[in-house]
Amino acid sequence: MDFADSDADLAFRREVGDWLDKALADVPDQEELAQDEREHWSRVWQDRLCAGGWAGLSWPTAHGGRGLDSLAQAIFNEEAAVRGAPYPLNGVGMMLAGPTIIAHGTDEQQARHLPGILRGETYWCQGFSEPGSGSDLASLRTAATRVDGGWRVNGAKIWTSNAHNASKCLLLARTDPDAPKHRGITYFLAPMDAFTVRSLEMINGDTEFNEMFLDDVFVPDSDVLGGVGNGWTVALTTLAFERGSMALNLWVWARQAVDRVVDLAVARGVADDGAFLDTVGALHCDAEAVRIGSMRMLGESRAGGVPGPETSALKSLWAQVVQNANRLAVQLDEAGGVLLDGDGAAARMRRYLRARAHTIEGGTEEVQKSILAERVLNLPRSR
Amino acid sequence: MRATFTPEQREIGDTVAALAAGEKVRARDALTGPWRAPACDGLLLGDFGLLGVPEAAGGVGSHLIDLLVAVEALGERLVPSRFPAHAAAVQLLCGGDRPDPLPDEVLSGGRVLTCAVDVPGGSGWADGVSPDPLVRTLVPYAAQADGVAVLGPDGVWTAEAAGVAARDSVDPSVPLSDVTLAAPGRVTPAGAGAWRAALVVAAELCGVAQGAIDLAAEQARTRRQFGRVIGSFQGVAFQLAEAATARKAAWDLTLYAAWAVDTGRPDAGIQVHAAKAAAGRAAVFAAERCIQVHGGMGITMEADPHLFLRRALVLDARLGRGSWHRRRAGELRVGARVGESPVPGRTAAA
């Protein structure tokens, strides 16, 4: 077992690092910014990625990409995260929509949709989740009915990141109400002109998610991806790309959360306290386990394996370490973090509150444990 | 990145697992009689003795991970073999830049060593001021070994025990003793020796955690209550999912730490501390969950879960208690962040 980069990986990592260092020179620390400023820099960053040819890293060259494997994309994301780069405003387009369209789209769809992503002209969002469906994605009720030349869609979506900036949507809708719930679903590449988008204010004051309402929205036949009724299979492709592209970001975010709490404790003069050291030791174990587990997952993928249910253990560990580090940080603040006018206190509380989402988004903690129980431990289904 | 097991490592794991599965002498036997060597003891000491031994120490240059894969497989079935203790002793002796080549009789298993690192009253490995610098505690199989590999503040050495005082081990399949040593003759720098030895224990702990999880999952799949198998209750299933997560984290940390030590990475030390701490926690947690899942039978001597807990507790205490390693990881993490170690020179290989 060898955890070192191969020569090719190392060369790529250096190339990426050199470019990132230059491209990030004027970009401020995102952690210190207000939300609208962060969104501004996400847009700037997206433009720079497209201009620099870093969009579509793992897309085939025939589609204008760089033809690298998913590990290369993960390395790029890792190096960017280590440097505190903004999150690109069209991450969904570059890392989810593009690869899914390449995997399942017709020539016509590929020609129509892919260049706009690479040029930074079209932004995408992921219309999977629905109010009421929660973790049970396949229970979605948004319905598409046949009309002349296409489909008429009615329903609502929720938790849609970046919908307020997007013009295209990876949309799941039920096209056969009588089929078993995983079968009657169709995947659309829907234009969002007729969607109503409403931002949701989160418990930390940010508005990163949206609700979307579809009232008699027309989607043409040419925007069905992967065939009518085949939407669940296509959606699994998107979810697999999501896991792969995030793999090496997770550990970086975990380590940064631990770094911040250590820096704070040092500044407060409490870093040599025994209980604090014990906690940091435990946080270090979990954060490193996320990093090493991600490397093993990517190594297995490159060797031809498929990421297994163990990825649920990684997601779970990551969520815990980030939540625990952010909780500890507010606890070190004046009055346990409840006075937001202290230096940096509001930002720490914002991060702590944001981290509560980590055991909910991307599959709740309970779903991850059920996956482990059923697919790793071979226990019977409990639902 | 090729963070996958080699075919050889998979083969080692399979071979040792098969040996362990066929072994007739079990950990349970030591509850009612004196420890006796399992049949596979000699085979392991002989055939697998070169695993993980660097060429400079007389080995064939195999990787530390090769050894850990073998030890993990023994831990899963609680095989009461002297091999892990002997292997830890060998690793303790061969971690320096210029280790003395180990005698052939040690590498061939003809002379069985054990590993003496923990200082009585201390919580780490020969780290503090000992009331008597020539006494070590938690020495396994001391009466059944031909020699002792010792860690002291100045390095490592091999000795014969001048005195062996048997202690009452919570896991009788791992007899523990206090060992008194004569003043050392030739001492060589420990280098990464203590780290390498600690990883042998961490690997066995990961195996123990896996064995406890397997036993608990089997119970959860078959035991019925309220008309359903108990594994269908989330209150049961989630405990085991947490144990599986902790075990995976510990095994990943252990494998990475071994690679970091073998390749001389600068972060090797903190990775070893993290691995040993995480492995101890994972094994104790898994064994405790295993007892819980077994319900009433789980708290009797007749069922096996307590055997896993006993082994987990003993291994967690050896070569630096888990809590001590966790504290060290925290100290090093904070130290790295402020640019200097807050307590320099505390680790054996610092």
pLDDT tens digits, A88-115: 999 999 999 999 999 999 999 999 999 9
Q: HSE-up of B290 (CA within 13 Å, CB side)?
A: 28
Residues 53-82 of A with CB under 8 A from B: 71
Q: How confident is the model at residue B306 (pLDDT cuts 50, 70, 90)?
A: very high
The confidence score (pLDDT) of residue A263 equals: 95
**How many Å apart are CA B80 and CA B12, to the nearest integer?**
19
Which two tokens mark B236?
A: 């049961």
Q: Does the beta carbon of A47 lie under 8 angstroms from any beta carbon of chain B?
A: no
The CA–CA distances, whole Å, from A116 to A121, A231, A374, B26 equal 5, 23, 41, 66
Residue of B nearest to A374 (CA): B237
CATH class, B192-338 region: mainly alpha
And the tokens for B26? Answer: 């079990």
Q: Using an 8 Å Cβ cutoff, are B64 and B264 in contact?
A: no
Closest Cβ opposite residue B245 in set A283, A295, A372? A372
Tell me how far apart the alpha carbons of residues B240 and B234 are, in angstroms, rounded to a whole number. Answer: 10
Map residue A379 onto helix, strand or coil: coil
Residue A28 pLDDT? 94
Taking contacts as CB-CB distances below 8 angstroms, the residues of chain B near A9 are 1
Q: How far apart are CA A355 and CA A261, in angstroms?
A: 14
pLDDT for residue A155: 98
CB-count burial class (<10 Å; 0-12, 13-18, 19+) for B42: middle
- Which amino acid is present at A320? Q
Q: What is the predicted pLDDT for the residue at B128?
A: 59
Spell out which residues of chain B touch residue A368, defining contact as CB-CB under 8 Å: 241
Structural tokens at position A125: 């969002």
- pLDDT of residue B340 exceeding 70: no
The CA distance from A24 to A20, in Å, is 6
Smallest Cα distance from B278 to chain A, Å: 7
Residues of B in contact with A1 (CB under 8 A): 2-6, 9, 63, 65, 255, 259
Q: How far is B186 from chain A (nearest CA, A)?
A: 35
pLDDT at B341 over 80: no
A135 touching B (Cβ < 8 Å) = no
Place of tokens 């610092």: B350
Q: Are B173 and B35 in contact (CB under 8 A)?
A: yes
Point out the residue among B232, B240, B278 whose CB comes nearest to the CB of A380. B232
Average pLDDT over residues B110-120: 96
- Asked if A373 and B238 come within 8 Å (Cβ–Cβ), the reply is yes
| CB burial of residue B93 (10 Å; 0-12, 13-18, 19+) | buried
Give the best residue of B12, B229, B252 to mutate against chain A (max A CB count within 10 A): B252
Region of residue A224 (phi > 0: left; psi between -120 and 50: alpha; otherwise: beta): beta
Read off the tokens for B95: 């971690």
**pLDDT score of B349:** 35
Q: How many CB atoms lie within 10 A of CB A224?
A: 24
- Would you call A293 and B249 a contact, using CB atoms and an 8 Å cutoff? yes
pTM of whole model > 0.90? yes
pLDDT confidence band for B345 (50 / 70 / 90): very low
Model confidence at B181: pLDDT above 50: yes
Q: Which pLDDT value is given to residue B1? A: 67
E strand segments, chain A: 124-127, 143-147, 150-157, 168-174, 185-191, 196-200, 209-220, 224-225
Q: How far apart are CA A1 and CA B280, in angstroms?
A: 23
Q: Chain A residues with CB inside 8 Å of B328's CB?
A: 281
Q: Please tell me if residue A4 touches chain B, with a CB cutoff of 8 Å.
A: yes
- On whether the CB atoms of residues A100 and A81 are closer than 8 A, the answer is no
The complex's ipTM?
A: 0.94
Task: Please report where in the chains the tokens 């066995």 appear, as a residue.
Answer: B204
Greatest CA span in chain B, whole angstroms?
67
pLDDT in tens, B26-79: 999 999 999 999 999 999 999 999 999 999 999 998 999 999 999 999 999 999
Residue of B261, B281, B333, B340 to mutate, testing the A interface (most A Cβ within 10 Å of its Cβ): B333
| Count of A-B CB contacts under 8 Å | 178
Residues of A in contact with B233 (CB under 8 A): 382
CATH for A234-376 is 1.20.140.10
- Which of A62-71's residues contact partners 24+ apart within 8 Å by CB, and which partners? A63/A98, A63/A102, A63/A110, A63/A114, A64/A114, A64/A115, A64/A118, A65/A98, A65/A118, A68/A12, A69/A302, A70/A241, A70/A244, A70/A245, A70/A298, A70/A301, A71/A9, A71/A298, A71/A301, A71/A302, A71/B1
Mean pLDDT of the B159-166 span: 96
Kindly write down the DSSP assignment for every residue of A142-204, as one continuous string. Answer: -EEEEETTEEEEEEEE-S-TTGGG-SEEEEEEES-TTS-TTTSEEEEEEE-TT-EEEEE--TT
For residue B200, what pLDDT band results from cuts at 50, 70 and 90? very high
A295 touches chain B (CB under 8 A): yes
Closest CA to A204 of A39, A31, A356: A356
The string of pLDDT tens digits covering residues B249-302 is 999 999 999 999 999 999 999 999 999 999 999 999 999 999 999 999 999 999
* DSSP collapsed to 3 states, B163-209: EEEECCCCCCCCCEEEEEECCCCCCECCCCHHHHHHHHHHHHHHHHH
CATH number for A7-88 (one of 1.20.1050.40, 1.10.540.10, 3.90.1410.10, 3.40.390.30): it is 1.10.540.10
Q: Which residues of A are catalytic?
A: 242
Looking at the partner chain, which of B213, B252, B259 has a beta carbon nearest the beta carbon of A293?
Answer: B252
What's the confidence (pLDDT) of residue B348? 35
Output the CA angle B185-B191-B196, nearest 5 degrees. 105
Contact B333 A262 (CB under 8 A): yes
**Are residues A372 and B331, on separate chains, in Cβ contact within 8 Å?**
no
Candidate from A281, A299, A378 with C-beta closest to B333: A281
Are A373 and B63 a contacting pair at CB < 8 A?
no
Residue B84 or residue A73, greater confidence: B84
Q: How far is B160 from chain A, CA to nearest CA, in Å?
A: 36
Cβ–Cβ gap A1/B4 under 8 Å? yes
> How far is Cα A153 from Cα A102, in angstroms, rounded to an integer?
24
CB contact under 8 Å between A1 and B3, yes or no, is yes
pLDDT, one tens digit for every residue, chain A (383 residues): 999 999 999 999 999 999 999 999 999 988 888 889 999 999 999 999 999 999 999 899 999 999 998 788 889 999 999 999 999 999 999 999 999 999 999 999 999 999 999 999 999 999 999 998 888 889 999 999 999 999 999 999 999 999 999 999 999 999 999 999 999 999 999 999 999 999 999 999 999 899 999 999 999 999 999 999 999 999 999 998 887 777 778 999 999 999 999 999 999 999 999 999 999 999 999 999 999 999 999 888 888 877 778 889 999 999 999 999 999 999 999 999 999 999 999 999 999 999 999 999 988 999 999 999 999 999 999 75
d(CA A211, CA A205): 16
Structure tokens at B324: 């001590």
CB A86 within 8 A of CB A38: yes
Phi first, then psi, for residue A362 (nearest 5°) are 65, 25
Contacts of A263 in chain B (CB under 8 A): 337
Distance between CA atoms of A297 and A308, rounded to whole angstroms?
8
- Name the pLDDT band for B127 (thresholds 50, 70, 90): low
Q: Was domain A124-228 assigned CATH 2.40.110.10?
A: yes
Residue A9 to residue B342, Cβ atoms within 8 A: no
More confident residue, B218 or A33: B218
Of the candidates B9, B263, B342, the beta carbon closest to that of A272 is on B342
pLDDT bucket at B346, cuts 50 / 70 / 90? very low
**Closest CA in chain B for residue A312:** B245
Strand partners, A145: A152
Three-state DSSP string of chain B: CECCCCHHHHHHHHHHHHHHHCCCCCHHHHHCCCCCCCCHHHHHHHHCCCCCCCHHHCCCCCCHHHHHHHHHHHHHCCCCCCHHHHHHHHHHHCCCCCCCCCCHHHHCCCCCEEEECECCCCCCECCCCCCCCCEEEEEECHHHCCEEEEEECCEEEEECEEEEEECCCCCCCCCEEEEEECCCCCCECCCCHHHHHHHHHHHHHHHHHHHHHHHHHHHHHHCEECCEEHHHCHHHHHHHHHHHHHHHHHHHHHHHHHHHHHCCCCCHHHHHHHHHHHHHHHHHHHHHHHHHHCHHHHCCCCCCHHHHHHHHHHHHHCCCCHHHHHHHHHHHHHHHHHCCCCCCCCCCCC
Q: Do B252 and A296 touch (CB under 8 A)?
A: yes
User: Is B208:B287 a contact under the CB 8 Å cutoff?
Assistant: yes
Give me Rg for the CA atoms of chain A: 21
**Domain spans, chain A:** 7-88, 124-228, 234-376
* Confidence (pLDDT) at B326: 98
Amino acid B28: pLDDT: 97
